[in-house]
Amino acid sequence: MESGVNKKLNILLISSFMPEGASEMVLDMHKALLIKHNVNLLLKYRLKGNSSYLAVYSEFDRLLNRGLNAITRLKRNIFSNEYKRVELPQYHFFGIDDANPSVSSKKILKQIKIEYDVVIVFFWQNMITAKTIYDIYEKLQIPILFISPDMFPMTGGCSYFWECTQLSTSCGNCPGLLSNNENDATRINFLYKKDKLKNVNSVFLGNTWMNSFAAKTGLFKKIDKIYPIIDENIFKPRDKEQLKSESKYSGKIVLFFGAMQVNEERKGYAYLVKALQLLAVNRPELVPKIILLIAGKDSELPELTEFTLDKRGYLSFEQLAVCYAMSDIFLSPSIQDAGPMMLNQSLLCGTPAVAFEMGTACDILNSSTGYVAKYKDSEDFCRGILSLIDKSSDELQFIKEECRSQSMNKYSYDAFTENIVRVYNEVK
């Protein structure tokens, strides 16, 4: 890998990567950056059938680690009071001890065998901590850019902090631990992060909503904006009427949403149910015309049985793209989410969306691409759905074109790469 004459950047992209959901974005990052630059992708485990990526562990190591981790958890539950502390599941704690990462920094550094211009870190879960970042920076002395699908890089341990405001005071009194101790594990961990990152040339890259919190922590040298990268060649507009016809939905209003985790509070399913129930009460004539197209885990969804339900189960990205393109509106009721990525996917397909005022919706939804509802306000969410249903065909065509156009300018492969290069040039 060389830079200089060809003016290509040498980029190291690091991710713990789980081959599903938002973490798959790292593969799109790699493909996009490779078009114009030299990129090495370093993962926790080697992917089957792909030897071009670097990996800390082999497939054998993955199986061995899984067994060892199960034994460790059992020992902790039996012998250690420390690990019997309460961790409320909605806060998603993956680790409250950055000083002792589950993957040794030495193992990661061993894979870094050439010189790079910049490091990009994405999806930290069970691999990257502040100690890892510090050790990488000590070796390379180059900018490190953080892109995260959750809040973990900026907290004392949780991935979602809900209404907690302790970030600005270095955590402590953690509601996720039911703690009344100012100097609890999250405070100790936060201060450790702060000490390790204080001399690192770091940039936190998030949406406006995430960045407003990151700015309160004092952890990062610079904070800038980025959008989740989406493959515009998969997620693209198609002939909506033809797709509806193939599903025997001609003349119907198709509302699409994901139901992977209907019981997970942060996904806001309860708010969506209330919004749809309000729609049925306020506009009962629409109910027979509406198809609720649902991706994800097959759930009963008893609250919505007055509507026609089409449950598609787990969908590949290609299948998801077809569902977006067939739909009239994508519904995203998340109330605690850095994304969700599905919003970006929908808009690239030319399908407007309704979402609450949080996460990426604050940056990509507007009157030309959908509707931003007041936070946790089901009535306003319902109002947003109806406002789009009631648009004229000319207005909907304009919105379809704007969804695609604005998306291409923000998070296509080219847009993502240009943004990374811009940030690098500002901090190198």
pLDDT tens digits along 295-339: 987 667 888 889 999 999 889 899 999 999 999 999 999 999 888
Q: Are residues 199 and 273 in the same domain?
A: no
Q: Contact at 8 Å (CB) between 144 and 39?
A: no
Give the residue with greater pLDDT, 64 vs 245: 245
Q: Are residues 406 and 418 in the same domain?
A: no
pLDDT score, position 4: 43
Q: How far apart are CA 37 and CA 266, in angstroms?
A: 37
Q: Are residues 112 and 179 in the same domain?
A: yes
Q: Are residues 406 and 416 in the same domain?
A: no
Q: Are residues 308 and 249 in the same domain?
A: yes
The pairing of beta strand 202-206 with beta strand 118-122: unpaired
Q: Are residues 269 and 150 in the same domain?
A: no
Confirm whether 5 is domain-assigned. Answer: no
Identify residue 24 by its one-letter amino acid code.
E
Cross-strand pairs, 225: 206
Q: Are residues 295 and 153 in the same domain?
A: no
Confirm whether 234 is domain-assigned. Answer: no
Confirm whether 325 is domain-assigned. Answer: yes
Q: How far apart are CA 26 and CA 153, in angstroms?
A: 17
Identify residue 139 by its one-letter amino acid code.
K
Residue found under tokens 């050790």 = 135
Q: Are residues 170 and 202 in the same domain?
A: yes
First to last CA, the chain: 19
pLDDT (tens digit per residue) in 171-198: 999 999 999 999 999 999 999 999 999 9
Q: Quick one: pLDDT band at residue 94, thresholds 50, 70, 90?
A: confident
Q: Are residues 19 and 141 in the same domain?
A: yes
Provide the domain count of the chain.
2
Q: Are residues 187 and 291 in the same domain?
A: no
3-class SS of residue 169: helix
Report the CATH number at residue 93: 3.40.50.2000
pLDDT score, position 125: 85
Question: What are the backbone angles phi and psi of residue 47, rounded to the nearest 5°?
Answer: -80, 140
What predicted TM-score, i.e. pTM, was given to this entire model? 0.91
Confirm whether 65 is domain-assigned. Answer: yes
Q: Are residues 96 and 191 in the same domain?
A: yes
Q: How far apart are CA 201 and CA 121, in angstroms?
A: 13
Peptide bond into 101 cis (omega under 30): no
The residue range of the domain holding 269 is: 240-410
Contacts of 66 (CB under 8 A, 6+ apart): none
pLDDT (tens digit per residue) in 369-385: 999 999 999 999 999 99
Is the per-residue pLDDT at 80 higher than 60? no
Q: Are residues 60 and 104 in the same domain?
A: yes
pLDDT (tens digit per residue) in 277-297: 999 999 999 999 999 999 987
Confirm whether 235 is domain-assigned. Answer: no
